[in-house]
Protein backbone atom coordinates (compact mmCIF):
# COMPACT_ATOMS: atom_id res chain seq x y z
CA UNK A 1 0.00 0.00 0.00
CA UNK A 2 1.50 3.33 -1.07
CA UNK A 3 1.26 6.59 0.82
CA UNK A 4 -1.74 7.83 -1.15
CA UNK A 5 -3.74 4.66 -0.53
CA UNK A 6 -2.77 4.62 3.14
CA UNK A 7 -3.85 8.23 3.54
CA UNK A 8 -7.10 7.45 1.79
CA UNK A 9 -7.68 4.56 4.20
CA UNK A 10 -7.11 6.85 7.18
CA UNK A 11 -9.55 9.40 5.78
CA UNK A 12 -12.13 6.68 5.22
CA UNK A 13 -11.77 5.56 8.83
CA UNK A 14 -12.28 9.13 10.04
CA UNK A 15 -15.26 9.62 7.73
CA UNK A 16 -16.93 6.46 9.00
CA UNK A 17 -16.38 7.62 12.56
CA UNK A 18 -17.20 11.28 11.93
CA UNK A 19 -20.17 11.33 14.30
CA UNK A 20 -18.17 9.74 17.10
CA UNK A 21 -15.31 12.22 16.59
CA UNK A 22 -17.75 15.15 16.45
CA UNK A 23 -19.58 13.86 19.52
CA UNK A 24 -16.35 13.57 21.51
CA UNK A 25 -15.35 17.10 20.50
CA UNK A 26 -18.72 18.58 21.46
CA UNK A 27 -18.89 16.71 24.77
CA UNK A 28 -15.39 17.68 25.87
CA UNK A 29 -15.89 21.32 24.91
CA UNK A 30 -19.17 21.42 26.85
CA UNK A 31 -17.49 19.79 29.86
CA UNK A 32 -14.66 22.33 29.67
CA UNK A 33 -17.18 25.19 29.58
CA UNK A 34 -19.15 23.67 32.46
CA UNK A 35 -16.04 23.38 34.61
CA UNK A 36 -15.08 26.94 33.68
CA UNK A 37 -18.45 28.23 34.88
CA UNK A 38 -17.95 26.47 38.21
CA UNK A 39 -14.49 27.97 38.81
CA UNK A 40 -14.10 31.18 40.83
CA UNK A 41 -12.85 34.00 38.58
CA UNK A 42 -9.30 35.11 39.35
CA UNK A 43 -7.99 38.62 38.59
CA UNK A 44 -4.29 39.18 37.95
CA UNK A 45 -2.14 42.23 38.69
CA UNK A 46 1.52 42.85 37.85
CA UNK A 47 3.94 45.48 39.15
CA UNK A 48 7.28 46.04 37.44
CA UNK A 49 10.44 47.19 39.24
CA UNK A 50 13.89 48.01 37.87
CA UNK A 51 17.22 47.08 39.42
CA UNK A 52 19.72 49.58 38.05
CA UNK A 53 23.25 48.48 37.33
CA UNK A 54 26.23 50.73 38.17
CA UNK A 55 27.11 53.11 35.34
CA UNK A 56 30.40 52.77 33.53
CA UNK A 57 32.73 49.88 33.93
CA UNK A 58 33.29 46.88 31.73
CA UNK A 59 30.45 44.45 31.13
CA UNK A 60 32.54 41.36 31.47
CA UNK A 61 31.74 37.94 32.86
CA UNK A 62 32.42 39.05 36.45
CA UNK A 63 30.02 41.96 36.12
CA UNK A 64 27.29 39.77 34.60
CA UNK A 65 27.69 37.16 37.32
CA UNK A 66 27.57 39.83 40.02
CA UNK A 67 24.45 41.43 38.55
CA UNK A 68 22.77 38.03 38.21
CA UNK A 69 23.43 37.30 41.86
CA UNK A 70 22.01 40.70 42.79
CA UNK A 71 18.75 40.18 40.89
CA UNK A 72 18.36 36.65 42.22
CA UNK A 73 18.86 38.02 45.72
CA UNK A 74 16.01 40.47 45.22
CA UNK A 75 13.77 37.70 43.90
CA UNK A 76 14.51 35.54 46.93
CA UNK A 77 13.84 38.46 49.29
CA UNK A 78 10.53 39.25 47.59
CA UNK A 79 9.31 35.65 47.81
CA UNK A 80 10.53 35.06 51.37
CA UNK A 81 8.06 34.41 54.15
CA UNK A 82 9.20 37.58 55.95
CA UNK A 83 8.29 39.80 52.99
CA UNK A 84 4.98 38.03 52.27
CA UNK A 85 3.95 38.07 55.90
CA UNK A 86 4.77 41.80 56.05
CA UNK A 87 2.54 42.37 52.97
CA UNK A 88 -0.27 40.39 54.62
CA UNK A 89 0.15 42.44 57.81
CA UNK A 90 0.00 45.78 55.99
CA UNK A 91 -3.11 44.77 53.99
CA UNK A 92 -4.85 42.94 56.84
CA UNK A 93 -4.91 39.58 55.08
CA UNK A 94 -5.60 36.36 56.96
CA UNK A 95 -2.76 34.50 55.25
CA UNK A 96 0.25 35.38 53.19
CA UNK A 97 -0.50 35.98 49.53
CA UNK A 98 0.70 33.87 46.63
CA UNK A 99 2.94 35.82 44.30
CA UNK A 100 5.11 35.05 41.32
CA UNK A 101 8.34 37.06 41.01
CA UNK A 102 10.36 36.57 37.85
CA UNK A 103 13.21 38.28 36.04
CA UNK A 104 12.44 39.58 32.57
CA UNK A 105 15.19 38.14 30.34
CA UNK A 106 17.72 40.54 28.78
CA UNK A 107 16.45 43.48 30.89
CA UNK A 108 16.91 45.05 34.34
CA UNK A 109 13.23 44.46 35.16
CA UNK A 110 11.53 42.21 37.66
CA UNK A 111 7.82 41.45 37.43
CA UNK A 112 5.76 40.89 40.58
CA UNK A 113 2.51 39.08 39.68
CA UNK A 114 -0.36 37.87 41.82
CA UNK A 115 -3.95 36.74 41.36
CA UNK A 116 -6.97 37.02 43.61
CA UNK A 117 -10.77 36.81 43.32
CA UNK A 118 -10.83 40.51 44.30
CA UNK A 119 -9.17 42.66 41.58
CA UNK A 120 -8.45 45.54 44.02
CA UNK A 121 -6.77 43.19 46.48
CA UNK A 122 -4.64 41.69 43.72
CA UNK A 123 -3.50 45.18 42.72
CA UNK A 124 -2.69 46.15 46.32
CA UNK A 125 -0.67 43.00 46.96
CA UNK A 126 1.56 43.58 43.92
CA UNK A 127 2.10 47.28 44.69
CA UNK A 128 2.74 46.70 48.41
CA UNK A 129 5.36 44.06 47.72
CA UNK A 130 7.06 46.34 45.17
CA UNK A 131 7.19 49.17 47.71
CA UNK A 132 8.54 46.80 50.34
CA UNK A 133 11.36 45.78 47.99
CA UNK A 134 12.30 49.45 47.58
CA UNK A 135 12.35 49.90 51.36
CA UNK A 136 14.53 46.85 51.88
CA UNK A 137 17.04 47.71 49.15
CA UNK A 138 19.18 49.92 51.44
CA UNK A 139 19.16 47.38 54.27
CA UNK A 140 20.44 44.77 51.87
CA UNK A 141 23.89 46.45 51.76
CA UNK A 142 24.09 48.49 54.97
CA UNK A 143 22.19 46.82 57.70
CA UNK A 144 22.89 48.09 61.29
CA UNK A 145 26.71 48.46 60.91
CA UNK A 146 28.30 51.78 59.84
CA UNK A 147 28.45 52.33 56.13
CA UNK A 148 31.62 52.96 54.14
CA UNK A 149 30.60 56.58 53.71
CA UNK A 150 30.24 57.04 57.46
CA UNK A 151 33.63 55.43 58.16
CA UNK A 152 35.37 57.50 55.48
CA UNK A 153 33.63 60.63 56.68
CA UNK A 154 35.23 60.22 60.12
CA UNK A 155 38.62 59.46 58.64
CA UNK A 156 38.32 62.43 56.27
CA UNK A 157 37.55 64.79 59.17
CA UNK A 158 40.54 63.48 61.10
CA UNK A 159 42.78 63.93 58.06
CA UNK A 160 41.51 67.50 57.62
CA UNK A 161 42.22 68.27 61.25
CA UNK A 162 45.72 66.81 60.92
CA UNK A 163 46.33 68.82 57.76
CA UNK A 164 45.13 72.04 59.37
CA UNK A 165 47.37 71.43 62.38
CA UNK A 166 50.38 70.76 60.14
CA UNK A 167 49.73 73.91 58.13
CA UNK A 168 49.36 75.94 61.29
CA UNK A 169 52.63 74.64 62.72
CA UNK A 170 54.42 75.27 59.44
CA UNK A 171 53.17 78.85 59.26
CA UNK A 172 54.10 79.42 62.89
CA UNK A 173 57.59 78.05 62.28
CA UNK A 174 58.09 80.34 59.28
CA UNK A 175 57.07 83.46 61.24
CA UNK A 176 59.28 82.53 64.15
CA UNK A 177 62.27 81.97 61.88
CA UNK A 178 61.81 85.30 60.14
CA UNK A 179 61.62 87.28 63.36
CA UNK A 180 64.59 85.77 65.23
CA UNK A 181 67.10 84.90 62.53
CA UNK A 182 70.35 87.13 62.11
CA UNK A 183 71.73 87.42 58.59
CA UNK A 184 75.27 86.01 58.11
CA UNK A 185 78.33 88.03 57.01
CA UNK A 186 78.24 86.74 53.52
CA UNK A 187 74.63 87.90 53.16
CA UNK A 188 73.17 84.37 52.54
CA UNK A 189 70.27 83.30 54.95
CA UNK A 190 70.76 80.13 56.95
CA UNK A 191 68.18 77.33 56.27
CA UNK A 192 65.55 76.54 58.93
CA UNK A 193 65.46 72.83 59.38
CA UNK A 194 62.16 72.84 61.37
CA UNK A 195 60.30 74.71 58.63
CA UNK A 196 61.48 72.29 55.98
CA UNK A 197 60.32 69.29 58.01
CA UNK A 198 56.96 70.89 58.63
CA UNK A 199 56.61 71.65 54.91
CA UNK A 200 57.13 67.97 54.07
CA UNK A 201 54.58 67.03 56.75
CA UNK A 202 52.04 69.41 55.21
CA UNK A 203 52.59 67.80 51.79
CA UNK A 204 52.01 64.30 53.22
CA UNK A 205 48.92 65.46 55.09
CA UNK A 206 47.53 67.00 51.93
CA UNK A 207 48.08 63.76 49.98
CA UNK A 208 46.34 61.72 52.69
CA UNK A 209 43.43 64.14 52.79
CA UNK A 210 43.13 64.11 49.00
CA UNK A 211 43.05 60.31 48.86
CA UNK A 212 40.45 60.06 51.62
CA UNK A 213 38.33 62.73 49.96
CA UNK A 214 38.37 60.78 46.68
CA UNK A 215 37.42 57.56 48.48
CA UNK A 216 34.67 59.35 50.36
CA UNK A 217 33.14 60.81 47.19
CA UNK A 218 33.28 57.40 45.51
CA UNK A 219 31.63 55.71 48.51
CA UNK A 220 29.00 58.42 48.74
CA UNK A 221 28.15 58.09 45.03
CA UNK A 222 28.06 54.30 45.23
CA UNK A 223 25.78 54.35 48.28
CA UNK A 224 23.47 56.84 46.63
CA UNK A 225 23.24 54.55 43.60
CA UNK A 226 22.56 51.60 45.83
CA UNK A 227 19.92 53.53 47.71
CA UNK A 228 18.16 54.13 44.38
CA UNK A 229 19.11 50.77 42.83
CA UNK A 230 15.54 49.48 42.82
CA UNK A 231 12.67 51.64 41.58
CA UNK A 232 9.04 51.01 40.65
CA UNK A 233 8.77 51.33 36.88
CA UNK A 234 5.09 50.43 36.46
CA UNK A 235 2.71 49.94 39.39
CA UNK A 236 -0.04 47.32 39.16
CA UNK A 237 -3.38 48.51 37.82
CA UNK A 238 -6.93 47.37 38.51
CA UNK A 239 -7.90 44.40 36.30
CA UNK A 240 -11.17 44.73 34.40
CA UNK A 241 -11.60 41.13 33.20
CA UNK A 242 -10.64 37.93 34.99
CA UNK A 243 -7.63 36.10 33.65
CA UNK A 244 -9.00 32.72 34.67
CA UNK A 245 -11.07 30.93 33.67
CA UNK A 246 -10.60 31.84 30.00
CA UNK A 247 -13.87 30.61 28.48
CA UNK A 248 -12.91 30.76 24.77
CA UNK A 249 -9.52 29.19 25.41
CA UNK A 250 -10.96 26.42 27.57
CA UNK A 251 -13.64 25.69 24.99
CA UNK A 252 -11.04 25.57 22.21
CA UNK A 253 -8.76 23.31 24.24
CA UNK A 254 -11.72 21.07 25.09
CA UNK A 255 -12.63 20.92 21.41
CA UNK A 256 -9.09 19.97 20.41
CA UNK A 257 -8.86 17.39 23.19
CA UNK A 258 -12.19 15.93 22.11
CA UNK A 259 -11.09 15.76 18.49
CA UNK A 260 -7.89 14.01 19.50
CA UNK A 261 -9.79 11.57 21.72
CA UNK A 262 -12.32 10.94 18.95
CA UNK A 263 -9.59 10.22 16.41
CA UNK A 264 -7.85 7.85 18.84
CA UNK A 265 -11.12 6.05 19.56
CA UNK A 266 -11.90 5.86 15.84
CA UNK A 267 -8.66 4.07 15.06
CA UNK A 268 -8.95 1.96 18.21
CA UNK A 269 -12.39 0.68 17.25
CA UNK A 270 -11.20 0.29 13.68
CA UNK A 271 -8.46 -2.00 14.90
CA UNK A 272 -10.93 -3.95 17.03
CA UNK A 273 -13.41 -4.26 14.17
CA UNK A 274 -13.38 -7.74 12.62
CA UNK A 275 -15.90 -7.00 9.87
CA UNK A 276 -15.23 -6.60 6.17
CA UNK A 277 -14.12 -3.11 5.24
CA UNK A 278 -14.72 -3.21 1.51
CA UNK A 279 -14.57 -5.11 -1.73
CA UNK A 280 -10.77 -4.95 -1.78
CA UNK A 281 -10.62 -7.00 1.40
CA UNK A 282 -13.05 -9.56 -0.04
CA UNK A 283 -10.85 -9.90 -3.12
CA UNK A 284 -7.80 -10.56 -0.95
CA UNK A 285 -9.63 -13.35 0.88
CA UNK A 286 -11.00 -15.29 -2.10
CA UNK A 287 -10.46 -15.54 -5.87
CA UNK A 288 -14.23 -15.65 -6.42
CA UNK A 289 -15.56 -12.84 -8.60
CA UNK A 290 -17.45 -9.88 -7.17
CA UNK A 291 -20.81 -10.18 -8.93
CA UNK A 292 -22.18 -6.82 -7.82
CA UNK A 293 -21.67 -4.07 -5.29
CA UNK A 294 -25.03 -3.03 -3.86
CA UNK A 295 -24.99 0.47 -2.33
CA UNK A 296 -26.64 1.38 0.95
CA UNK A 297 -30.25 1.86 -0.17
CA UNK A 298 -32.98 3.84 1.47
CA UNK A 299 -35.76 1.76 2.93
CA UNK A 300 -38.20 2.53 0.14
CA UNK A 301 -35.57 1.48 -2.42
CA UNK A 302 -34.73 -1.87 -0.84
CA UNK A 303 -37.89 -3.75 -1.76
CA UNK A 304 -39.60 -3.83 -5.20
CA UNK A 305 -43.11 -2.38 -5.19
CA UNK A 306 -45.50 -2.45 -8.17
CA UNK A 307 -43.70 -2.15 -11.49
CA UNK A 308 -40.78 -0.10 -10.18
CA UNK A 309 -37.45 -1.48 -11.39
CA UNK A 310 -34.83 -2.50 -8.86
CA UNK A 311 -31.61 -0.62 -8.32
CA UNK A 312 -29.06 -0.72 -11.19
CA UNK A 313 -26.79 -2.92 -9.10
CA UNK A 314 -29.39 -5.72 -9.26
CA UNK A 315 -29.74 -5.33 -13.03
CA UNK A 316 -25.99 -5.86 -13.23
CA UNK A 317 -26.32 -8.94 -11.03
CA UNK A 318 -29.15 -10.40 -13.14
CA UNK A 319 -27.16 -9.86 -16.34
CA UNK A 320 -24.18 -11.74 -14.93
CA UNK A 321 -26.47 -14.52 -13.69
CA UNK A 322 -28.01 -14.92 -17.18
CA UNK A 323 -24.56 -15.09 -18.76
CA UNK A 324 -23.44 -17.61 -16.14
CA UNK A 325 -26.61 -19.67 -16.63
CA UNK A 326 -26.24 -19.73 -20.39
CA UNK A 327 -22.66 -20.93 -20.06
CA UNK A 328 -23.14 -23.44 -17.24
CA UNK A 329 -26.73 -24.47 -18.09
CA UNK A 330 -27.78 -23.55 -14.57
CA UNK A 331 -31.35 -22.88 -13.45
CA UNK A 332 -31.34 -23.16 -9.65
CA UNK A 333 -29.44 -20.69 -7.47
CA UNK A 334 -29.03 -20.61 -3.72
CA UNK A 335 -28.72 -17.13 -2.22
CA UNK A 336 -27.26 -17.19 1.26
CA UNK A 337 -24.83 -15.35 3.53
CA UNK A 338 -22.26 -16.38 6.14
CA UNK A 339 -24.30 -14.83 8.97
CA UNK A 340 -27.69 -13.15 9.41
CA UNK A 341 -28.11 -9.47 8.65
CA UNK A 342 -26.19 -9.30 5.37
CA UNK A 343 -29.34 -8.51 3.34
CA UNK A 344 -29.62 -11.80 1.40
CA UNK A 345 -33.44 -11.68 1.31
CA UNK A 346 -33.36 -8.18 -0.18
CA UNK A 347 -30.82 -9.29 -2.79
CA UNK A 348 -32.88 -12.38 -3.66
CA UNK A 349 -36.11 -10.37 -4.06
CA UNK A 350 -34.56 -7.65 -6.21
CA UNK A 351 -32.68 -10.19 -8.33
CA UNK A 352 -35.95 -12.09 -8.95
CA UNK A 353 -37.71 -8.87 -9.99
CA UNK A 354 -34.88 -7.87 -12.32
CA UNK A 355 -34.90 -11.27 -14.04
CA UNK A 356 -38.68 -11.32 -14.40
CA UNK A 357 -38.84 -7.78 -15.79
CA UNK A 358 -36.46 -8.92 -18.53
CA UNK A 359 -39.07 -11.52 -19.62
CA UNK A 360 -37.71 -14.54 -17.74
CA UNK A 361 -39.93 -16.99 -15.86
CA UNK A 362 -38.74 -16.87 -12.24
CA UNK A 363 -39.75 -18.69 -9.08
CA UNK A 364 -38.49 -17.26 -5.79
CA UNK A 365 -38.56 -19.80 -2.96
CA UNK A 366 -38.31 -18.71 0.68
CA UNK A 367 -36.61 -21.57 2.54
CA UNK A 368 -35.68 -19.54 5.59
CA UNK A 369 -38.32 -21.10 7.82
CA UNK A 370 -37.02 -19.48 11.00
CA UNK A 371 -36.92 -15.90 9.68
CA UNK A 372 -39.09 -15.77 6.57
CA UNK A 373 -39.04 -12.44 4.73
CA UNK A 374 -40.34 -12.82 1.16
CA UNK A 375 -44.05 -12.73 2.03
CA UNK A 376 -43.48 -9.38 3.79
CA UNK A 377 -41.43 -7.99 0.91
CA UNK A 378 -44.04 -8.84 -1.73
CA UNK A 379 -47.01 -8.36 0.61
CA UNK A 380 -48.32 -11.88 0.16
CA UNK A 381 -50.19 -14.20 2.53
CA UNK A 382 -48.11 -16.85 4.24
CA UNK A 383 -50.74 -19.44 5.11
CA UNK A 384 -49.92 -21.84 2.27
CA UNK A 385 -46.26 -22.05 1.62
CA UNK A 386 -43.34 -24.43 1.23
CA UNK A 387 -43.51 -25.75 4.78
CA UNK A 388 -47.17 -26.65 4.29
CA UNK A 389 -46.30 -28.54 1.08
CA UNK A 390 -43.41 -30.40 2.72
CA UNK A 391 -45.71 -31.41 5.57
CA UNK A 392 -48.20 -32.79 3.03
CA UNK A 393 -50.93 -30.25 3.73
CA UNK A 394 -51.17 -28.81 0.18
CA UNK A 395 -49.94 -29.46 -3.34
CA UNK A 396 -46.98 -27.68 -4.89
CA UNK A 397 -49.17 -25.72 -7.30
CA UNK A 398 -50.94 -24.09 -4.36
CA UNK A 399 -47.67 -22.62 -3.10
CA UNK A 400 -46.97 -20.63 -6.29
CA UNK A 401 -48.32 -17.14 -5.60
CA UNK A 402 -48.68 -14.41 -8.21
CA UNK A 403 -47.07 -11.03 -7.77
CA UNK A 404 -47.42 -7.66 -9.46
CA UNK A 405 -44.71 -8.83 -11.84
CA UNK A 406 -46.21 -11.08 -14.58
CA UNK A 407 -43.37 -13.60 -14.73
CA UNK A 408 -42.49 -13.81 -11.09
CA UNK A 409 -43.98 -16.35 -8.70
CA UNK A 410 -43.11 -16.51 -5.02
CA UNK A 411 -43.20 -19.58 -2.79
CA UNK A 412 -43.41 -18.27 0.74
CA UNK A 413 -42.08 -20.14 3.77
CA UNK A 414 -45.58 -21.11 4.91
CA UNK A 415 -47.28 -21.32 8.25
CA UNK A 416 -45.95 -24.75 9.33
CA UNK A 417 -42.60 -23.49 10.43
CA UNK A 418 -41.69 -26.61 12.45
CA UNK A 419 -40.46 -28.57 9.46
CA UNK A 420 -38.66 -31.74 10.57
CA UNK A 421 -35.04 -31.77 9.54
CA UNK A 422 -35.55 -35.28 8.12
CA UNK A 423 -37.66 -33.74 5.38
CA UNK A 424 -34.71 -31.52 4.34
CA UNK A 425 -32.94 -34.45 2.69
CA UNK A 426 -31.13 -34.30 -0.58
CA UNK A 427 -33.79 -36.50 -2.18
CA UNK A 428 -36.72 -34.27 -1.20
CA UNK A 429 -34.91 -31.06 -2.04
CA UNK A 430 -33.62 -32.46 -5.31
CA UNK A 431 -37.08 -33.58 -6.36
CA UNK A 432 -38.59 -30.21 -5.45
CA UNK A 433 -35.97 -28.24 -7.39
CA UNK A 434 -36.30 -30.54 -10.38
CA UNK A 435 -40.07 -29.99 -10.46
CA UNK A 436 -39.73 -26.22 -10.19
CA UNK A 437 -36.99 -26.19 -12.81
CA UNK A 438 -39.34 -27.69 -15.35
CA UNK A 439 -41.87 -24.86 -15.11
CA UNK A 440 -39.52 -21.83 -15.08
CA UNK A 441 -36.19 -20.58 -16.29
CA UNK A 442 -34.74 -19.53 -12.94
CA UNK A 443 -35.30 -20.86 -9.45
CA UNK A 444 -33.95 -18.56 -6.75
CA UNK A 445 -33.79 -19.91 -3.20
CA UNK A 446 -33.66 -17.54 -0.24
CA UNK A 447 -31.84 -19.77 2.27
CA UNK A 448 -30.88 -19.20 5.92
CA UNK A 449 -27.45 -17.95 6.83
CA UNK A 450 -24.85 -20.62 6.10
CA UNK A 451 -23.34 -20.70 9.59
CA UNK A 452 -26.60 -20.44 11.52
CA UNK A 453 -28.32 -23.77 10.74
CA UNK A 454 -27.66 -26.95 8.78
CA UNK A 455 -30.33 -26.35 6.08
CA UNK A 456 -28.07 -24.38 3.69
CA UNK A 457 -25.54 -27.22 3.67
CA UNK A 458 -28.16 -29.59 2.25
CA UNK A 459 -29.42 -26.97 -0.20
CA UNK A 460 -25.94 -26.01 -1.42
CA UNK A 461 -25.29 -29.58 -2.55
CA UNK A 462 -28.49 -29.66 -4.65
CA UNK A 463 -28.46 -26.33 -6.51
CA UNK A 464 -26.55 -25.48 -9.67
CA UNK A 465 -24.74 -22.51 -8.11
CA UNK A 466 -24.47 -20.53 -4.89
CA UNK A 467 -24.50 -16.75 -4.60
CA UNK A 468 -22.90 -15.60 -1.37
CA UNK A 469 -24.02 -12.23 0.04
CA UNK A 470 -21.78 -10.30 2.43
CA UNK A 471 -22.35 -6.87 3.97
CA UNK A 472 -19.64 -4.28 4.36
CA UNK A 473 -18.92 -3.40 8.01
CA UNK A 474 -21.28 -6.20 9.19
CA UNK A 475 -20.00 -9.56 7.95
CA UNK A 476 -17.05 -10.74 10.01
CA UNK A 477 -13.94 -11.86 8.16
CA UNK A 478 -13.66 -15.12 10.09
CA UNK A 479 -17.27 -16.03 9.24
CA UNK A 480 -16.64 -15.43 5.53
CA UNK A 481 -13.57 -17.66 5.67
CA UNK A 482 -15.51 -20.40 7.46
CA UNK A 483 -18.41 -20.18 4.99
CA UNK A 484 -16.07 -20.44 2.01
CA UNK A 485 -14.37 -23.41 3.66
CA UNK A 486 -17.67 -25.23 4.16
CA UNK A 487 -18.76 -24.61 0.57
CA UNK A 488 -15.40 -25.86 -0.67
CA UNK A 489 -15.74 -29.05 1.40
CA UNK A 490 -19.19 -29.64 -0.16
CA UNK A 491 -17.73 -29.09 -3.64
CA UNK A 492 -20.50 -26.55 -4.14
CA UNK A 493 -20.24 -24.37 -7.22
CA UNK A 494 -20.06 -20.77 -5.97
CA UNK A 495 -20.95 -18.32 -8.72
CA UNK A 496 -19.52 -15.35 -6.85
CA UNK A 497 -20.01 -12.86 -4.07
CA UNK A 498 -22.40 -9.91 -3.79
CA UNK A 499 -21.05 -7.14 -1.58
CA UNK A 500 -24.01 -5.38 0.03
CA UNK A 501 -24.25 -2.02 1.81
CA UNK A 502 -21.21 -0.45 0.18
CA UNK A 503 -20.74 3.31 0.28
CA UNK A 504 -22.94 5.25 -2.11
CA UNK A 505 -21.08 6.51 -5.14
CA UNK A 506 -21.73 7.85 -8.62
CA UNK A 507 -21.28 4.38 -10.04
CA UNK A 508 -24.91 4.05 -11.08
CA UNK A 509 -26.05 7.67 -10.90
CA UNK A 510 -25.78 8.22 -14.67
CA UNK A 511 -28.26 5.42 -15.28
CA UNK A 512 -30.45 6.06 -12.23
CA UNK A 513 -34.22 5.96 -12.49
CA UNK A 514 -34.40 9.72 -11.99
CA UNK A 515 -32.52 10.38 -15.25
CA UNK A 516 -34.25 11.29 -18.47
CA UNK A 517 -33.66 7.93 -20.05
CA UNK A 518 -35.21 6.01 -17.17
CA UNK A 519 -38.74 6.27 -18.52
CA UNK A 520 -37.77 4.79 -21.89
CA UNK A 521 -35.87 2.04 -20.09
CA UNK A 522 -39.00 1.23 -18.10
CA UNK A 523 -41.06 1.28 -21.29
CA UNK A 524 -38.71 -1.25 -22.88
CA UNK A 525 -39.16 -3.54 -19.89
CA UNK A 526 -42.90 -3.16 -20.02
CA UNK A 527 -42.82 -3.99 -23.75
CA UNK A 528 -40.81 -7.14 -23.04
CA UNK A 529 -43.21 -8.10 -20.29
CA UNK A 530 -46.23 -7.42 -22.47
CA UNK A 531 -44.76 -9.57 -25.24
CA UNK A 532 -44.18 -12.31 -22.71
CA UNK A 533 -47.79 -12.04 -21.61
CA UNK A 534 -48.96 -12.34 -25.20
CA UNK A 535 -46.81 -15.44 -25.63
CA UNK A 536 -47.90 -16.89 -22.30
CA UNK A 537 -50.28 -19.40 -23.82
CA UNK A 538 -47.46 -21.02 -25.77
CA UNK A 539 -45.14 -21.25 -22.74
CA UNK A 540 -45.28 -22.84 -19.38
CA UNK A 541 -47.58 -21.10 -16.93
CA UNK A 542 -45.56 -22.00 -13.84
CA UNK A 543 -47.69 -25.02 -13.15
CA UNK A 544 -51.03 -23.23 -13.27
Higher confidence at residue 166 or residue 36? Answer: 36
Q: Phi first, then psi: what are they for 508, rounded to 5°?
A: -110, 5
Q: Would you list the domain boundaries of the chain?
A: 15-39+248-273, 42-176+193-244, 279-538
pLDDT tens, residue by residue, 296-326: 776 666 565 545 566 788 888 999 998 888 7
What lies within 8 Å, CB to CB, of 144 at 6+ separation is none
Q: Are 109 and 94 in contact (CB under 8 A)?
A: no
- 492-521 average pLDDT score: 64
| Reduced 3-state DSSP string for 352-411 | HHHHHHCCCCEEEEECCCCCCCHHHHCCCCCCCCHHHHHCCCCCHHHHEEECCCCCEEEE
CATH number of 279-538: 3.40.50.300
Rounded CA-CA distance 521/525 in Å is 6
pLDDT tens, residue by residue, 344-398: 999 999 999 999 999 999 999 999 888 899 999 999 999 989 988 888 888 989 9
pLDDT tens, residue by residue, 137-186: 766 555 555 666 667 778 878 888 888 887 888 778 787 777 765 555 44
Amino acid sequence: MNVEEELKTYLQVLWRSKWMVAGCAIITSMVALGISFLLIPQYSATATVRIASAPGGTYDYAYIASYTQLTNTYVDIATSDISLNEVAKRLGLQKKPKVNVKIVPETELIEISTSDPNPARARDIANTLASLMVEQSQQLFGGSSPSAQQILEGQLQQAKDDLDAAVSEYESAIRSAQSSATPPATGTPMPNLDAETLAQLVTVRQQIYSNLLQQYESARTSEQLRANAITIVEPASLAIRPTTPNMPLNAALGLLAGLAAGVILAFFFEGMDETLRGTEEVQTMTPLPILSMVPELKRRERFPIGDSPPAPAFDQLSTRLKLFGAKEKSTTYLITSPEPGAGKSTVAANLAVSLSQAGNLVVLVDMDFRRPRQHSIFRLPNENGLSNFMCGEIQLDATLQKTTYPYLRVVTAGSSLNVPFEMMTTGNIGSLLETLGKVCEYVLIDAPALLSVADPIVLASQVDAVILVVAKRETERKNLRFALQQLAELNAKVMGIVVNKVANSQMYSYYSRSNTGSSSHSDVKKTVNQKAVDDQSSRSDLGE
